[in-house]
Amino acid sequence: MSGRTASSDEREPVRVHLCISGFTQTEQTPNGVFRLYSELCRLGFNNGVSRVLLYRWNSKWAEVAEFLWLLGQEEGNGDCRVEINIYAYSWGMGWGAIQLVNELRRRGITVNIIVSADGVYRHKWFKLPAMARRNAWWAPTIKIPPRVREVTPFHQRQNVPQGHVIKRGKGCSAMIHESRELESDHQYIDDSDDFHLACIHASRRLMEVR
């Protein structure tokens, strides 16, 4: 054995399937995002070259981004190879995913796919209209930062809060698919088969990234 390490082109990237729960959800209560996390683990996405992770919407995202950057390091030479998908619900999308993308961007890391279930905008200081209706004239939008390749959104109109419209932010070139409306209340949309199947499909695509 020569002792040489593989080049960055030869080395398999670490693939991360990162789930972010909503503002009323904790690890102590059953919820759809935890079930998605468990389903991805059962399907074998948590292995030597792939990690399934679960975070709350208000996690310390700078620390999470640093952890992900370290996961992709190659023997301390500063070359980071990590491929990331994000699956987020409610404030997990409108706050958590956006904060994480910004922190990853500072470290030169791109997110492959975000799948959003009724993502609700949250302002940094003001709890503005968390209860907004989707198309109200005063409703905010969720703006995707640069370094995201693709976004698949789902929303509902049966009750409030309703997921806000997702758009490209300044400098963003992501492909944002047309949002699919589901027949579900906000509190149950993260349990939706459509949302879970979209996340599983995205995870399978991520495993093909080289």
Torsion sign over Cα 182, 142, 64, 104: positive
Give the pLDDT of residue 8. 46
Half-sphere exposure of 210 (CA within 13 A, CB side): 3
Q: What's the CA gap between 124 and 127, in Å, rounded?
A: 8
The count of other CB atoms within 10 Å of the CB of residue 49 is: 11
Q: What type of residue sits at position 77?
A: N
180: phi then psi, degrees, rounded to nearest 5: -95, 130
Give the pLDDT of residue 10. 65
Give, for all 210 residues of the chain, the pLDDT tens digit.
333 334 445 678 999 999 999 877 666 678 999 999 999 999 999 998 899 999 999 999 999 999 999 999 864 556 789 999 999 999 999 999 999 999 999 999 999 999 999 999 987 766 655 556 666 666 789 999 999 999 999 999 999 899 999 999 999 999 999 999 999 999 999 999 999 999 999 999 999 987
